[in-house]
Structures are given as structure tokens and as C-alpha cells.
Amino acid sequence: MYTGLPVSPTSPLLDLDTHIMNELDNIVTSQQVLLQSLGVPCFFVTKHPKLLEKQRVVIEIMTGSSAWSDDTDDDDVCYTAIDAFH
């Protein structure tokens, strides 16, 4: 099993990884604030994994991305979207 390269706690690579993760967290927070201000359901600042998953589903519904394939009719998509939140 591959366990990754050994990285010391003071490694520049670890510093870069930490910086990138913090920047991604900031982007997520900014997106949550913006979408909440626009009145998008389920959006508020959170780091809770289950709530983040609900927010991801809302974005998928709004953008029509991968979870909602083109081979379903609109009624099926709306029904599935409603079920996703129960």
C-alpha cells in the first residue's frame, strides 16, 4: 500500500498544501455567503459535511450537472430533487 512521500512537519510542500486548503476553504465560504445573499435555499456558512453535501446537490440541480442526466424528463428531475432533501 502506498502511504505517500514522507513529509516533515516543516516541509515547504506541507506549507503549500496547507495554504491551498485554506484558500479552498475561503472560496467555499465566499460562495456560501454569496448564494445565501441571493436567497438560494440551503446556503449559509458551514463546514458540516452533511450540510455541504446538501449544498452540493442544490448546485447540481441549479446547474444541471452530472447527477441529473439528460435522459430524464423534467417531472422525474423535480421529483428526485424534492426527495433529496427528505
Distance CA 47, CA 84 (A): 20
**Model confidence pLDDT, tens digit, residues 12-71:** 888 899 999 999 999 999 999 999 999 999 999 999 999 999 999 999 999 988 655 555
Angle, vertex CA 68, rays to CA 65 and CA 44, nearest 5:
60
CA dihedral angle for residue 53, residue 40, residue 46, residue 52, rounded to 10 degrees: 10
Sequence ranges of the domains in the chain: 12-84
- pLDDT at residue 86 in the model: 47
Helices (H), the chain: 12-37, 49-63, 74-84
The pLDDT confidence band at residue 76, using thresholds 50, 70 and 90, is: low
Residue 26 CA to residue 32 CA, distance in Å, equals 10
